């Protein structure tokens, strides 16, 4: 069965919801962190749930429906607008490099969308990752080399047609949004 690339950003609630469903895909999943606002800027997309008040209100209700359907908690970090999204994505890249990506990404999604764990500083992020089994120095989370890699990953995502998060790519096919998981599952079954 083909690997599935999961392109995500921690500040995307739909990425969190999709992440809760990865185990049910029945295929290996490659975690692909990107900075979604950068990707959207590259491709000329607009985060309409942020810029359109009516759509933002609808999305909040929609997110609750999806969380209930999946049977997962969803609350949103109390400091969501202040979170350093790039720092979280750099932390994911570092953890993936160290072979600790699954646990670290799960812990970061939980911190952002479930338990509101402190994420204000590099020390907070390093402490959270340490509890998830990935010991990293706080300075490493903010390393310029990781920032450059995040830029490259975001450019790669845009070059491959990604325009938002979450996006799944497998077997030359792209599926955008947690609401396309059934289409993805069907594609994986047909390809098996």
Please identify every residue annotated as catalytic.
Answer: 12
d(CA 49, CA 101): 29
d(CA 124, CA 49): 28
Question: What are the beta bridge partners of residue 116?
Answer: none
Contacts of 66 (CB under 8 A, 6+ apart): 14, 17, 74, 178, 179
CA distance readout (Å), 179 to 46, 65, 78, 123 = 19, 12, 25, 35
Q: Which two tokens stand for residue 59?
A: 């999305």
Helices (H), 35-180: 36-43, 48-51, 53-70, 85-97, 101-113, 122-131, 138-141, 144-159
């Amino acid at each position: 069965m083909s690997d599935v690339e999961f392109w995500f950003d921690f500040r995307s609630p739909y990425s969190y919801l999709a992440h809760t469903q990865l185990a049910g895909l029945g295929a290996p999943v490659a975690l692909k962190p990107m900075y979604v606002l950068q990707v959207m800027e590259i491709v000329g997309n607009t985060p309409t749930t942020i810029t359109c008040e009516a759509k933002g209100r609808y999305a909040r209700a929609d997110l609750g429906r999806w969380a209930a359907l999946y049977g997962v908690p969803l609350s949103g970090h109390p400091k969501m607008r202040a979170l350093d999204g790039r720092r979280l994505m750099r932390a994911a890249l570092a953890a993936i490099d160290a072979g600790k990506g699954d646990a670290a990404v799960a812990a970061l999604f939980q911190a952002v969308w479930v338990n509101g764990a402190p994420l204000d500083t590099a020390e907070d992020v390093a402490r959270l990752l340490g509890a998830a089994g990935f010991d990293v120095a706080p300075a490493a989370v903010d390393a310029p080399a990781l920032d450059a890699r995040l830029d490259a990953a975001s450019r790669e995502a845009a070059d491959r047609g990604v325009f938002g998060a979450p996006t799944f790519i497998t077997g030359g096919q792209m599926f955008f949004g947690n609401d396309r998981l059934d289409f993805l599952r069907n594609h994986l079954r047909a390809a098996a």
